[in-house]
Structure 1
């Protein structure tokens, strides 16, 4: 059994449309983790863009999971553009970055690890939300 200090730091980046529910986000999270055989308890934090700071679904999901939720500015997220698996023109027009989920996951993973991170689950799209998971490279 991995003790917490050796367990990898995994973080989930989330992007969503206004009004996206916690249930929708949770369904996407459960589906992605199950598909990649990752346990929910391995996830240490959630990340998104600061434009979503007051998004009820994101806040509710973080509360339900008892996980910290960190936000990044579009300028901080834009730095990750070369590493994204998908560039969304719509996301760029709305947020100033080409992919919220992947870049937020990478940004938070690197902040927590204090080293390089990589995408372990590339962008997954579901209903009104996107999700990505990052951890140590």
Structure 2
């Protein structure tokens, strides 16, 4: 039995305020992974909302980790609203979706694995950023 095919697809969803430093994002990621005993090598990709496509901190984090960053539109993220652990009215007013980190993580995990995803780690908030981990497979 090979482990490659059974390894879950782990995706990190990220939301952040404009100008959020990469150090903040990295601290949140490292803290979350160690708290949940997840090997950083298991992370396959990063996800966010398309409003953040040019966000320097997110791009820098993706470069540091050598992972692709996929961004989704709010209409692509909207269907995940019912799966979110936390629905933010403020996030909805600003972005058109109730939770960027969780929705983006779910959307990308589902796309990569071509099967339904679930939240492994619900929304974590730290300084100017939010992070969630979704897995599929």
Give the TM-score normalised by the residue count of structure 2: 0.96
The structural deviation recorded for 1:6 is: 3.2
| Aligned-CA RMSD value | 1.1
1:62 aligns with 2:59: no
Give the TM-score normalised by the residue count of structure 1: 0.96
- Equivalent position of 2:134 in the other structure: 134
Runs of 4+ in 1 over 4 A off after TM superposition: none
- Equivalent position of 1:107 in the other structure: 107
Local SS of the residue matching 1:24: helix
Cα distance in structure 1, aligned partners of 2:82 and 2:3? 34
- Structure 2: give runs of 5+ residues left out of the alignment: none
The structural deviation recorded for 1:4 is: 3.7
Local SS of the residue matching 1:125: strand
- Equivalent position of 1:120 in the other structure: 120
TM alignment of 1:1-137, pairs within 5 A: 3-136=3-136
The structural deviation recorded for 1:5 is: 3.6
- Structure 1: give runs of 5+ residues left out of the alignment: none
Deviations 1:18-65 (A, max 9, x none): 000111000000011111000100000000000001100000000000
Q: How many residues align?
A: 136
Cα distance in structure 2, aligned partners of 1:4 and 1:26? 27
